[in-house]
Chain A
Amino acid sequence: EPEVTQTPSHQVTQMGQEVILRCVPISNHLYFYWYRQILGQKVEFLVSFYNNEISEKSEIFDDQFSVERPDGSNFTLKIRSTKLEDSAMYFCASRTGQVNTEAFFGQGTRLTVV
């Protein structure tokens, strides 16, 4: 069964450094999402992406964040200058976009900013 895959599974970075989290959505899916979950808190929406552009973003998704689909298969989340509070589990999800279809989630990348 096709899966959304995310790399790396765990990333440790120093405060102020740039990180890129990678996701490979399911191949026939058209809608892509990033969510994050700070330890002990709820899963929060960051951004959705369709047709090579952002379709919706939350207030968390500020200028430090950007997303890209550089090669038609990968879907990346970049954090330009990481802060301690960016430490979280980051989940990628994708959907076909057809009515009443579910979002499939990746296994997540745990980002630790030190």
Chain B
Amino acid sequence: AQRVTQPEKLLSVFKGAPVELKCNYSYSGSPELFWYVQYSRQRLQLLLRHISRESIKGFTADLNKGETSFHLKKPFAQEEDSAMYYCALKRGGNTPLVFGKGTRLSVIA
């Protein structure tokens, strides 16, 4: 079975400080990994996926197969980054997403 673990329920950082939201997964195959974000009173939306290797809103995430991790990083946090962040895994194709419990990021001015 697949599992996604986000060890931090809440992460508070000061504006301008670096951010790292941790995500570890367990899956015996080759997963697709995603980060979804949910801003206050808004819907879940895709932030980035490992396959694209892109930076969105200054965030990056690298898939580390050896450590089975997909941590989300940003060098300088902004107040508008405050949101719930969910790491998710997909087996591939049109299979459903398996989510972690989420981490609430709070960026303090």
Contacts and interface: CB of A to CB of B under 8 A. Distances in A.
A95 B46 CA distance: 12
Given A41-B101, A43-B99, A50 B94 contact: yes
A42 B102 contact: yes
Interface stretch (A11-19, A62-70, A80-88, A104-112): A104-112
B25 interface: no
Contacts of B94: 31, 48, 50, 55, 95, 97
A42 B101 contact: yes
Contact of A45 (B43, B52, B96, B101): B96
B57 to A, nearest CB: 16
A75 interface: no
Nearest to A103: B97
Contact of A42 (B34, B51, B52, B99): B99
Interface in B92-109: 94-102
Interface in B5-34: 34
B46 A102 contact: yes
Say whether chain B's binding surface is mostly helix, strand, loop, or mixed.
loop
Nearest to A44: B99
9 contacts: A33-B96, A35-B99, A48-B94, A56-B95, A56-B96, A97-B94, A103-B97, A105-B45, A106-B43
A108 B41 CA distance: 10
Interface of B: 34, 36, 42-46, 49, 51-52, 86, 94-102
Contacts of B45: 104-105
A60 to B, nearest CB: 12
A84 B5 CA distance: 27
Given A55-B94, A56-B95, A107 B101 contact: no
Contacts of A106: 43
A102 to B, nearest CB: 4
B100 A107 contact: no
A28 interface: no
Given A43-B99, A55-B94, 13 more contacts: A3-B43, A35-B96, A35-B97, A42-B100, A42-B101, A45-B96, A48-B95, A58-B96, A97-B94, A105-B44, A106-B43, A107-B42, A108-B43
